[in-house]
Amino acid sequence: MYWKEVRRTEHFDQYHKGTLAWSEVVRLIHKIKNKRKKGDKIEIEDNKFYLLCELKEDILYVINVKRK
């Protein structure tokens, strides 16, 4: 899975912005090796966080960030 840019969705800004700082979200995306693709969505998780993303035209959009 490759992308050129990471962006926030409106849903992320409205509901999940306070969960984790944006810089930490980007760091986790690059650091976590456990990435699963389900259709057009990508699930990224480790033992502390769960991220739901969508890949469109080489741009990774972060939809959701949750603490486990």
Q: Compute the average pLDDT of residues 12-30.
A: 94
pLDDT in the model for residue 10 = 96
pLDDT band of residue 1 (cuts 50, 70, 90) is confident
Its CATH architecture, for the domain 5-67, is 2-Layer Sandwich (3.30)
The pTM of the full predicted model, rounded to 2 decimals, is: 0.89
| Residue whose structure tokens are 């995306």 | 29
The rounded distance, in Å, linking the Cα atoms of 50 and 63 is 11
What rounded mean pLDDT belongs to the chain?
A: 93
Q: Where are the domains of the chain?
A: 5-67
- Give CB contacts under 8 A, 24+ apart, made by 38-46: 42/1
pLDDT in the model for residue 40 = 84
- The pLDDT > 90 percentage for the chain reads 87
How wide is the angle at C-alpha 54 spanned by C-alphas 37 and 57, nearest 5°?
A: 105
